[in-house]
Each structure stands twice: as C-alpha cells, then as structure tokens.
Amino acid sequence: MSTGDHGTTVSVDLHVHTEASYDCHTSVEAVLDRAAAAGLDAIAITDHDSVASLARAFEIAHEYGVHVVPGIEVSTADGHLLALGIDQLLSPGRPLAETTREVHDRGGLVVVPHPFQKFRHGASRRAIRAADVDAIEVYNAHTLTGFRNGQARRYARRNELPGTGGSDAHKASLVGRASTTVSLPKGDDLTTEGILDAIRAGRTVANGTRTSAKQYVKKYAMNARVKTASFL
C-alpha cells in the first residue's frame, strides 16, 4: 500500500483459485502466505462456481495482512464471469447477461476474465456487449503470448471499460504473477467496497508477467486429467 498526496494505491490480484475449485489443490493458507510474500494488499478468491473457501479466508486473512475480496468465477452459458463482492453461490449455466444482472442486484461487480478465448471459456464480444459488464480482465497471467491480453486491452479501451489484471493462479507460487493497482481516495480504508468502487470508476492499472510455457502446459494437462476422470 502506498499513500501520496492524491490518495492511496493498493495492489490486488483479482483472480485467484483455491482447493474449492475443481482444478486446484491449493489451500487458503498457502494462497494467503504467498500473497503476503508477493507484497499484495488484497486478493479476490474466485473459485469455480464455489464459495467454500471464503469463510476460512475471512477468518485468517488478518494473520497475513492481506484483505480478501469475496468472489466467484461463474460458469455462464456464454463463458466465464468473475463476480466480485459476492459471497453466495450463483446458479451456473445461465446467459452472461442474466448472471450479470443478478450480480449487480446483489451489489457486486462483473469482470470478464480471459475474454474471446473459447477454449478457456472466454465470453465473446456479442455476449459481453449484451451483458453490460463493469470491467475486462486485460492481463491474465496464464497465457503463452501477449496476443490475447493485447486483444482484451484494445477491446476495453475502445469500449471505455476499466481494465484489470489477475494471476488466475491455481498454484500458490503463481499468486501475484499478475495484479491490479487500484487507486483509493485519500484517507479511505482498504475495504472490498472501496476496491469495487475504484474499479467501477476506472482507477485501475493492470500489470504482471506471463507464466512460463512449462507452467502453462502443466495447468492444462491437469485440467484435461480432471475432465477425463469426470467421465469415468
């Protein structure tokens, strides 16, 4: 956290998974320990269609000096969606626009992760336009090249949408590989609502480094094993 004449900047990884996700085996403790070591002020825990890790995260976050933003990575009919500020389950499989409306009704914020990447369940341009989303993930660390992130960044800029960054970490070592610098008004405490308000206002800078080719391949090899096992 850095405080200056114009306010406070905090570093937040807005896309982190724990063992509550079907494709992750990392404990909440390991995630928070790594977040603290990486110098993050906050993380958003966004497990796949699950909020099972949030209670534990809220309970122990103060021990690590890291604020936890509740969230879910929801599997919609049109692709994945990060519902931030939400700590109760949302039904999967519905249209992106319908899910977005429910998130907004609950006071949450919608970020489209890894957009346009069909094989990663990224939403299409048509679905995003129809959904009235709040922000676009313009830096996702799980990518082999910078092409897709650049594509997302250009889309966000053209449509005047805030850009965010997230590691999409499924291993503790990758937490913080990408993050969002969020600018809070001077004197404001670090809260979930403050972070969400800053994102809505576009006071964000996405940054990070891509995972290595080895890490990328291992992640999707594991996903393939999990999906294969589910059909057996």
pLDDT tens-digit map of 102-130: 999 999 999 999 999 887 799 999 999 98
pLDDT at 7: 77
The CA-based diameter of the chain, rounded to the nearest angstrom, is 59
Number of domains in the chain: 1
Sign of the alpha-carbon torsion through 218, 215, 67, 101? negative
Q: Is the pLDDT of residue 89 over 90?
A: yes
pLDDT at 5: 60
* 62 found inside a domain: yes
199 C-beta neighbours (distance < 10 Å), count = 23
* 96 found inside a domain: yes
Span 156-165, average pLDDT: 97
Span 134-160, average pLDDT: 91
* 131 found inside a domain: yes
Q: Is the pLDDT of residue 25 over 70?
A: yes
Helix, strand, coil distribution of the chain in percent, nearest 5: 35, 25, 35
Task: State the CATH number of the domain containing residue 167.
Answer: 3.20.20.140
pLDDT at 204: 98
**Average pLDDT along the chain:** 90
Q: Confidence band (pLDDT; 50, 70, 90) for 142?
A: confident
pTM here is 0.89
Sign of the alpha-carbon torsion through 117, 123, 125, 126? positive
Q: Is the pLDDT of residue 226 over 60?
A: no
Pairwise CA distance, residues 113 & 92, whole Å: 16
The residues near 215 (Cβ < 8 Å, ≥ 6 apart) are 171, 174
* 120 found inside a domain: yes
* 2 found inside a domain: no
Pairing relation of β-strands 79-84 and 109-112? antiparallel
155 C-beta neighbours (distance < 10 Å), count = 18
133: amino acid identity, one letter: V
Q: Is the pLDDT of residue 230 over 90?
A: no
Pairwise CA distance, residues 54 & 114, whole Å: 23
Helical segments of the chain, H only: 28-37, 54-64, 96-105, 125-131, 147-158, 192-200, 213-230
More confident residue, 162 or 142: 162
* 3 found inside a domain: no
Range of the domain at 66: 8-230
Q: Lowest-pLDDT range, 60-74, 145-159, 171-185?
A: 145-159
* 1 found inside a domain: no
pLDDT at 143: 77
Q: Confidence band (pLDDT; 50, 70, 90) for 68?
A: very high
Q: Lowest-pLDDT range, 9-18, 48-57, 61-70, 205-214?
A: 205-214
* 127 found inside a domain: yes
Span 84-106, average pLDDT: 98
pLDDT by residue (tens digit) across 202-217? 999 999 875 544 554 4
